[in-house]
Structure 1
Amino acid sequence: MKTLIFSLLLATATLNNSQAQDCLGMTFKTGMNFELSHFNAKDKPAGKVVYQVKDVHKEGGSTIMDITAQFEDEKGKQRPPYSIHYTCTGNELIADMSGMMQAMQSGGMKDMEMKLKSNKLVYPGKLSVGQKLSDGQMELEMANNGTTMMTMNMTMANRQVESQAPITTPAGTFDAYKISSDMNMENRVMGMPIRSTMKVVSYRTNNQLFDIKSETYNKNGKLMGYSLLTKAN
């Protein structure tokens, strides 16, 4: 579940798949690949997710990217792939977090009926130190034969750009912005609330789709794990 959290984001006018689309200083095209590798607090590999851009097209004034994600655990065992979508409006990059729901279904909740109520994580076109970002939220409901069994509400709150500094990963060296946020989760199982709070520190650039690095801490400030952008074409 923690790895899935790292991990933890149609067309009215479709262009040719091979045609690149530019948005917010980034160029997107079909076939692009990215790899995010996950590690535990002791720097031991905890799996990776390989992302491939399957389609890029225009929808109104926005650029839509359809992306397939393939999770592989530390032993090389793969889970069924799932899809996520990114929307570039020209002013903002909007991440679709519904892939988390799909991953949960393929990871042992296949018989559950899942309904996504809210799903949005927004990044502005340009980041700057001191900037405050809007909250992100994903809310879903899981039911069995029409009976609600579990609800899950995840909120990324108090998002703020704290600083800017170079970050080096196997994918290269990036001039990245450090963004801190509080991840609040409330799961209700048969009406009983289960709450947890974590702190997420991510490092992003203005010209990369995914985080360069992301760290997750428990409520006491202890590192739980982190992810790195290890490949990007």
Structure 2
Amino acid sequence: MKTLVISLLALVFISTISQAQDCLGMTFKTGMNFELTHFNGKEKPIGKILYQVKDVHKEGGSTVMDITALFEDDKGKQRPPYTIHYTCTGSELIADMSGMMQAMQNGGMKDMEMKLKTNKLAYPSKLSVGQKLSDGQMEVEMSSGGGGPMANMSMTMANRQVESKEPITTPAGTFDTYKISSDVNFENKVMGIPIRNTMKIITYRTENQLFDIKSESYNKNGKLMGYSLLTKTN
């Protein structure tokens, strides 16, 4: 009987460890849900993304979260879900930017084969006003029909800096956030011909949430193109 009780306790302990991990002051647990609502430049809701943590596990000394993302437009129509990954090393949180690539495949590039070559956007364990953050990078190679590369897409988030600290209120609550600005540079090479574009991103982030509380996108002329808000979290 004593052996059975010990075995059951061990199973409970192992199950708890596999489903919840603490890192950078956050608890990552299977089943956690987040909702980010997207608005256009005129503040009209245009859709939302529903995130759910499907798995939390250890890889070496890091905690890795497998998260499914489901886009739903303003009429309730859903696109096929895709998976992204977040990695917590203990000193930084590394966000997965491949959701952009997968959204393109689901949206209008289903026949394209995409190979992710670079994918990293890191946040340090502690943020402070005036702090400069490392560049974020994503590079994708696209091909069709098993042939050679047809196009390359790269995105760099440069000049990332913590500008200020301010409270942000959303339907999910009020958060003390750090305002982070970055310059985003896009380059698409199609048959060797480069097409470039730039924009500015302002994000509002707190140290105890996985996703940005608010994110604003501006074109090169400084006009607001749209923004997202964290509207639900458990």
User: Would you say same fold, with TM above 0.5?
Assistant: yes
Distance in 1 (CA, whole Å) between partners of 2:100 and 2:177 is 25
Q: Which moved more, 1:145-154 or 1:166-175?
A: 145-154
Shift of 1:97: 1.0
Tell me the TM-score normalised to structure 2 length.
0.91
User: How big is each residue's C-alpha offset from its partner over 1:93-136, in whole Å with a ceiling of 9 and x where there is no partner?
Assistant: 00011122122112121221111110000000011000000000
3-state SS of 2:212 partner: coil
Residues 1:185 and 2:191 are matched in the alignment: no
> 1:15–1:58: 8 Å Cα contact kept in structure 2?
no
Aligned to 1:99: 99
Residues 1:170 and 2:133 are matched in the alignment: no
Q: CA RMSD in A?
A: 1.3
Do the aligned partners of residues 97 and 15 (structure 1) sit closer, same or farther apart at CA in structure 2, a change above 3 Å counting? farther
Aligned to 1:56: 56
**Unaligned segments of structure 2, at least 5 residues:** 1-13
> 1:15–1:57: 8 Å Cα contact kept in structure 2?
no
> 2:18–2:57: 8 Å Cα contact kept in structure 1?
no
3-state SS of 2:19 partner: coil
Distance in 1 (CA, whole Å) between partners of 2:184 and 2:159 is 9
Aligned to 2:21: 21
Which of the pair has more CA radius of gyration? Answer: 2
Aligned to 2:8: none
3-state SS of 1:100 partner: helix
The aligned amino acid for 1:207 is N
Distance in 2 (CA, whole Å) between partners of 1:100 and 1:222 is 22
Distance in 1 (CA, whole Å) between partners of 2:75 and 2:153 is 29
**Unaligned segments of structure 1, at least 5 residues:** 1-13
3-state SS of 2:30 partner: coil
Aligned to 1:129: 129
Residues 1:158 and 2:154 are matched in the alignment: no
> 1:36–1:230: 8 Å Cα contact kept in structure 2?
yes
Residues 1:32 and 2:32 are matched in the alignment: yes
Write 1 or 2 for the structure with the bigger share of helix.
2
Do the aligned partners of residues 97 and 17 (structure 1) sit closer, same or farther apart at CA in structure 2, a change above 3 Å counting? farther
Shift of 1:16: 5.6
Tell me the TM-score normalised to structure 1 length.
0.92
User: How big is each residue's C-alpha offset from its partner over 1:123-179, in whole Å with a ceiling of 9 and x where there is no partner?
Assistant: 000110000000000000101131322210000000000000110000000000000
Aligned to 2:204: 203
Matches within 5 A, 1:65-80: 65-80=65-80
> 1:36–1:49: 8 Å Cα contact kept in structure 2?
yes
Do the aligned partners of residues 157 and 55 (structure 1) sit closer, same or farther apart at CA in structure 2, a change above 3 Å counting? same
Give % identity. Answer: 81
Residues 1:212 and 2:213 are matched in the alignment: yes
> 1:28–1:56: 8 Å Cα contact kept in structure 2?
yes
